[in-house]
Amino acid sequence: MFTALVTGGAGFIGANFILLARNKQWLNVVNLDKLTYASNLQTLAELQDDINYHFVRGDIGNVELVSYLLEQYQPDAIINFAAESHVDRSILSPQEFIQTNVSGTFNLLEASRFYWQKLSLQKQQQFRFLHVSTDEVYGSLNLKDPAFREDTPYAPNSPYAASKAASDHFVRAYYHTYGLPTLTTNCSNNYGPRQFPEKLIPLIILNALDYKPLPIYGDGQNIRDWLYVIDHCEAIYLVLQQGKIGETYNIGGLNERANVNVVEKICAILDELVPKSDFNYSSLMTFVKDRPGHDKRYAIDCSKIKRDLGWQPQENFDSGLLKTVQWYLSNSYWVNQVRSGAYKNWLKQNYENRKS
């Protein structure tokens, strides 16, 4: 079985990917994660006795550490999930986004290049550097615009999106300049179990259960294309195995929803699962001050990965959202662990001045 160095594997998508990779025996995994506020090692507790899973706390920007790990474990692939990933945080303090998403990815590429150049020809041909990126690099769509394709020009609008765009460009440059066998995936909004509750869906679920306001930015008509996280993980593994080196693949849910409708749907699920007499969760919905530069609409044209690799999303939004709500209801230990003082400070920082 191949070994992969997975970065950011204690975060939402990385951890779901590692759990799948080990349960399905896809890969042996070395997980390098800095353990920022967004991570939770509890998510991976079930792998503690797995001899083919190793966790290392560290920064992707630390070339010496990454080079040591590459020498030590001789991975056949690097899958780069590590990032600062929240748009609102990038608006309030962009510095960390440059540090990890741009400089960190650059340093990871440098360490990978040195490692890859020293491999045997056969190992060089097998090796892959897969960079996990986002649809936000393409900017914002109007309602009638066609969905983002792989050749849509980059037009990032938030510091987060700009930092991811920069990292994508470096990955591309390392393929063209040095021949490093890279792959890039650009995916739409993920949802599912184990997502840190700063993002819309888990935030709404947990606020509703605490009878707190459900904050909807602006008029709630911004549209996102939601994909169940397991479908994203399956797509990444497929691209890793069969993707054409140097290429990028768009991954999307074929599931565009206005934010207000997503929130209404969560409320309706909670009305069913945790009913309260004379109270509907939707009564907590609150329209608040908009996100600066808020992108209107994202939509992904994923015909390339469908056509070339035979991927398509398996989960539909109704069943995926139900599973997600159920997961948060049944995992209060996990939830309580991530809702620390730092989380409460974040809620204060982001929402206190938003009341409209």
Residues annotated as catalytic (active site), given as ranges:
135-136, 160
Which parts of 275-334 interact with ligand DAU (CB under 6 A)?
A: 291, 298
Choices 41-49, 111-119, 213-221, 312-320 (CB under 6 A): range interacting with ligand DAU: 213-221
Residue 259: name its binding partner from ligand DAU, ligand NAD, none (Cβ under 5 to 8 Å by kind): ligand DAU
When computed from its CA atoms, the radius of gyration of the chain, rounded to whole angstroms, is: 20
Of the candidate spans 33-41, 116-124, 209-217, 293-301, the one that interacts with ligand NAD by CB under 6 A turns out to be: 33-41
Q: Is 188 a residue that touches ligand DAU (CB under 6 A)?
A: yes
339 Cβ partners below 8 Å, 6+ apart? 197, 206
- The listed partner (ligand DAU, ligand NAD, none) that binds 75, CB under 5 to 8 Å by sort, is none
3-state SS assignment for residue 14: helix
- CB closer to ligand NAD out of 195 and 207: 195
94's tokens = 């962009």
User: Per rule CB under 6 A, is residue 131 in the interface with ligand DAU?
Assistant: no
CA dist 192 → 13, 262, 320 (Å):
9, 13, 7
Member of 5, 70, 78, 82 binding ligand NAD (CB under 6 A): 82
What are the start-end ranges of the E strands in 124-208? Answer: 128-134, 182-187, 190-191
Q: Using H for helix, E for strand and C for coil, what is the string for 108-134?
A: HHHHHHHHHHCCCHHHHHHCEEEEEEE
- Told to check if 163 binds ligand DAU by CB under 6 A, we report no
Tell me which of ligand NAD, ligand DAU, none is bound by residue 215, counting a contact when its beta carbon lies within the kind-specific cut-off of 5 to 8 angstroms.
ligand DAU
Residues 194-223 vs ligand NAD: string with x where CB under 6 A?
A: --x---------------------------
Binding map of ligand DAU across residues 190-209, x = CB under 6 A, - = no contact = ---------xx--x------
CA atoms within 13 A on the CB side of 116: 22
Out of 19, 29, 30, 34, point to the residue binding ligand NAD (CB under 6 A).
34
Please give the angle made by the CA atoms of 255, 256 and 258, to the nearest 5 degrees.
140
Range list of β-strands (E), 117-219? 128-134, 182-187, 190-191, 214-217
Q: 31 is in the binding site of which of ligand NAD, ligand DAU, none (Cβ under 5 to 8 A by kind)? A: none
Phi, psi torsion values for 215, nearest 5 degrees: -75, 120
Contacts 24+ apart (CB under 8 A), 290-293: 290/217, 290/218, 291/87, 291/88, 291/91, 291/217, 291/218, 292/91, 293/91, 293/157, 293/158
Contacts of 238 (CB under 8 A, 6+ apart): 305, 309, 310, 311
Q: Which of 40, 2, 42, 41 is nearest to 21 (CA)?
A: 2
What is the DSSP code (8-state) at residue 330? H
Q: Mask: binding to ligand NAD, 104-143, rule CB under 6 A, as x and -?
A: x---------------------------x-x---------
Nearer to ligand NAD, 33 or 295 (CB): 33
Contact 130, 185 (CB under 8 A): yes
Draw the binding track, 67-106, toward ligand DAU (x: CB under 6 A; -: no contact): ------------------xxx-------------------
Check residue 228 for interaction with ligand NAD (CB under 6 A): no
DSSP 48: T
Name the residue whose CB lies closest to ligand DAU.
Answer: 134
Rule CB under 6 A: which residues touch ligand NAD?
7-8, 10-14, 32-36, 38-39, 59-61, 81-85, 100, 104, 132, 134, 164, 187, 189-190, 196
Rule CB under 6 A: which residues touch ligand DAU?
85-87, 134-136, 188-189, 199-200, 203, 215-217, 222, 224, 259, 291, 298
